[in-house]
Chain A
Amino acid sequence: MEQILVNGAYLGAQYALIALGLTLIFALMNVLNFAHGQMYVLGGFVTYTIYGQLGMPYALALLVTAVSLAVVGAVVERFLFRPVIRRSQRDESTMLLAAGLGFFLDAVILLLFGEKQRGVPKLIDGVFNWDFRVIMPHDRILIGCLAVGCIVLFILFMHFSKTGRALRALAQDRDAAQLMGVDVDRYSMTGFALGAMLAGIVGGLLVTITGVNLGMGGPTSTKAFMMVMIGGAGVIPGAIVGGVILGFMESILLSALASYGDVTYLLIFVSLMIFLAIRPNGLMGKPWG
């Protein structure tokens, strides 16, 4: 049981970090970013290239990944989403744009990094073994802690920085924020860049554990959407709670139902449908605040 709980906590931390970026973008711009998974994959490949291929320090690789994805996010917002949101009368336009962006990024990743599974050397060797009741490789513990650290930093940033307060105001009420002097365009771009950066960071963290390949983008987006729906779309703490819940559900059900074949995700999807029928806004309801 201890092993299952530790697995759940580790999965929950990484899932929560994946979901944060997605829900931030949704909260700020009402955009369902279907390309979130591809941004995660791109982040993984950037880290792979710098750390795995060029042999540079991992911290530097993670920093470059964060900056690269932030730039990608800013460019995407400035030149794709902003004009479409401004001109389009329909919400579906941004959904289609996001889906198209996902396919585009898939093609770019294929051209730049190829189709094969890639991985990088382990960050640290060694395994924590508590009498075979809890076994956890040291690198997983490190990545889990880094993920939790990133989540805490993000929450502090959103609560105590001027940019964070502006982003929260934007998420609460776009028009009111604008009337209060918030530069909507600037902070929308900042928020999108931050969301993409979070996706890139989690890709850069997890490439050291799970590796990365082109096909990971779609399933990652799907899981991220599930977490956001559980917690409540556009609600930052909701994304964290959704991620942790999904992580624990996966860990517990995979173990408890191992002898029944692959029914874990079937049960998770059924539970999600029932849950949404009862609480359509997720656990934490309406957007931010």
Chain B
Amino acid sequence: MRKLLVKTAGIAAISMAMACQTATANEALKIGFVGVTSGPAAAWGTSNVRSMQTRADWLNEQGGVTIGDTTYDIEIITFDDQKDPKRAIAGMEKMAQEGIHYVVGPNVDDGAAAVRPVAEKNDIIYFPYAFPKSLYTPPASNAVLGMIANYQSGPAIYTYLKENKGVKTVAFVAANESDPLSQRDGGVAAAEALGLKVVSSNITYQVDTTDFTPVITPAIKKRPDLLVLSGVAPANAPQLIRSARELGYQGIISTETAQDAQVLQEGAGNLANGFISVGGASTPEIASDTMREFVKRYTEKFGEYNDESNTKVYALEYIIETLKANPNALTNVEEFKKTIETFEVPNPYMKGDASLKYVGTTSFTQKRQLMVPLVVNVYQDGKFETLFIAEVD
């Protein structure tokens, strides 16, 4: 009898605990991430994942996100594709198996191209940080570019340097991989279109190179006004800059990819001063209180901040806000695509009356790009300073 009483009390306690949990916990809305979080380009994907996790925790702490009549807790499901297209496909298939319809990533061109069939077959809208136009141009319709493309930022940077720094000659150095090579080709075309003289564009290096001095020596011998490190991975940038400066190069060094100030500081120190890169989509001048709070939470959670997360914070925000605008899109990505056309809500991360809206009509003939500001930074003494801000469609 006593045993029976104990058992009954135990079962009752467990049931009550479960009931309480059910009453307080929201349904989970899973958002995926497939991208690179290890190896030389890890900083790109890591800033995605950490931005998503920081924002998700923040929203969940506030009681979740109400879409239609239901309140959800945001759950971020991550997959490290190690910058390998085969793994990116496996990652996207995993997302499909989990029933996820919205995935951030991949971070590089070949990975983003590789997952396209899987995403389209499984009704997944994905937000790559990769630049092939074919992903965003009809008949493709499931990919939405999460940042500014190099063919949008490159001309803006070269024009600025030509007009303000008197740049006349330019040399390009790129890793022997599809992303950097395509970015180099785009950069060469943009530079030539602006009337700059391209003195070197054939120098490439193995992505696993550890000593860049022999690689970069031929480019330095051409003494260009501007040395462009096309598509350079955050791990390689400080070494290339260091080698170039140590070889006596005194011109301007730039890239159209985002970089990590701490990695530059540790790897190149003051030799990286003056290095120009595309920055995160925020600056002290345009950051709202929400952006500052985001940066604070991110830094507290991970112990450091990556400027690129100013851009990476946007994808999750766009997904959630678009789903709020049309709850039917939770399970039907065609509804999401319809909503893209007219979607516009206030941008919480910028001061003033900026808005979140989809753009890209000029580049892709359809709205398949997140509207984020183009911020071009210059590295100086351990941190990025804003060089100029622009807007692209």
Is A132 an interface residue, CB under 8 A from the partner? yes
Does A110 lie within 8 Å of B208, measured CB to CB? no
Which one, A52, A209, A254, contacts B215 given CB within 8 A?
Answer: A254
Does B235 lie within 8 Å of A213, measured CB to CB? yes
Most interface-central of B38, B42, B213 (chain A CB within 10 A): B213
Does A120 lie within 8 Å of B266, measured CB to CB? yes
Does B40 lie within 8 Å of A219, measured CB to CB? no
- The docked-state distance in angstroms from the alpha carbon of A14 to that of B267 is 19
Is B218 an interface residue, CB under 8 A from the partner? yes
Among listed B136-144, B198-206, B321-329, interface-contacting one: B198-206
Q: Chain A: interface residue count, which band?
A: 35 or more
Other than the given A213-B235, A261-B176, 15 more pairs (CB < 8 A) read A4-B214, A7-B213, A8-B214, A14-B211, A116-B46, A116-B235, A121-B269, A122-B269, A210-B211, A213-B39, A214-B39, A219-B208, A219-B210, A258-B218, A262-B204
Chain B: CB-nearest residue to A135:
B247
Does B214 lie within 8 Å of A209, measured CB to CB? no
**Chain B residues, CB < 8 A from A55:** none
Does A11 lie within 8 Å of B266, measured CB to CB? no
- The A/B interface has a contact count, at CB < 8 Å, of 115
Does A215 lie within 8 Å of B38, measured CB to CB? yes
Chain B: CB-nearest residue to A139:
B246
Most interface-central of B42, B43, B211, B262 (chain A CB within 10 A): B211
- The docked-state distance in angstroms from the alpha carbon of A43 to that of B60 is 41
**Chain A residues, CB < 8 A from B10:** none
Does B42 lie within 8 Å of A115, measured CB to CB? yes
- The docked-state distance in angstroms from the alpha carbon of A8 to that of B214 is 8
Does B248 lie within 8 Å of A127, measured CB to CB? yes
Chain B: CB-nearest residue to A206:
B210
Does A11 lie within 8 Å of B214, measured CB to CB? yes
Q: Mark A106-125, 1 if CB is under 8 A from B, else 0.
A: 00001000011111111000
Does A116 lie within 8 Å of B202, measured CB to CB? no
Q: Chain B: interface residue count, which band?
A: 35 or more
Summarize A's interface: helix, strand, loop or mixed.
helix
Q: B residues engaging A (CB < 8 A)?
A: 37-40, 42-43, 46, 176, 202-206, 208, 210-211, 213-215, 217-219, 234-235, 238-239, 246-248, 260, 262-263, 266-269
Chain B: CB-nearest residue to A218:
B208
Which one, B176, B214, B219, B235, contacts A262 given CB within 8 A?
Answer: B176
What is the minimal beta-carbon distance from B260 to any residue of chain A, in angstroms?
A: 7
Is A157 an interface residue, CB under 8 A from the partner? no
**Chain B residues, CB < 8 A from A211:** 235, 238-239, 266-267
Is A85 an interface residue, CB under 8 A from the partner? no
Is A137 an interface residue, CB under 8 A from the partner? yes
Does B38 lie within 8 Å of A214, measured CB to CB? yes
Chain A: CB-nearest residue to B37:
A115
Is A3 an interface residue, CB under 8 A from the partner? yes
- The docked-state distance in angstroms from the alpha carbon of A137 to that of B242 is 10
Does B217 lie within 8 Å of A255, measured CB to CB? yes
- The docked-state distance in angstroms from the alpha carbon of A8 to that of B211 is 11
Does B234 lie within 8 Å of A255, measured CB to CB? no
**Chain B residues, CB < 8 A from A14:** 211
Chain B: CB-nearest residue to A260:
B202
What is the minimal beta-carbon distance from A282 to any residue of chain B, in angstroms?
A: 23
What is the minimal beta-carbon distance from B316 to any residue of chain A, in angstroms?
A: 21
Is A65 an interface residue, CB under 8 A from the partner? no
What is the minimal beta-carbon distance from A260 to any residue of chain B, in angstroms?
A: 7
> Given A214-B38, A261-B176, are A117 and B217 neighbors across the interface (CB < 8 Å)?
no
**Chain B residues, CB < 8 A from A4:** 214, 217
Does B248 lie within 8 Å of A119, measured CB to CB? no
**Chain A residues, CB < 8 A from B210:** 206, 210, 216, 219-220
Is A250 an interface residue, CB under 8 A from the partner? yes
Is A265 an interface residue, CB under 8 A from the partner? yes
- The docked-state distance in angstroms from the alpha carbon of A254 to that of B211 is 12
What is the minimal beta-carbon distance from A84 to any residue of chain B, in angstroms?
A: 28
**Chain B residues, CB < 8 A from A3:** 217
Is A178 an interface residue, CB under 8 A from the partner? no
Which one, B202, B214, B266, B268, contacts A7 given CB within 8 A?
Answer: B214
**Chain A residues, CB < 8 A from B260:** 116-117
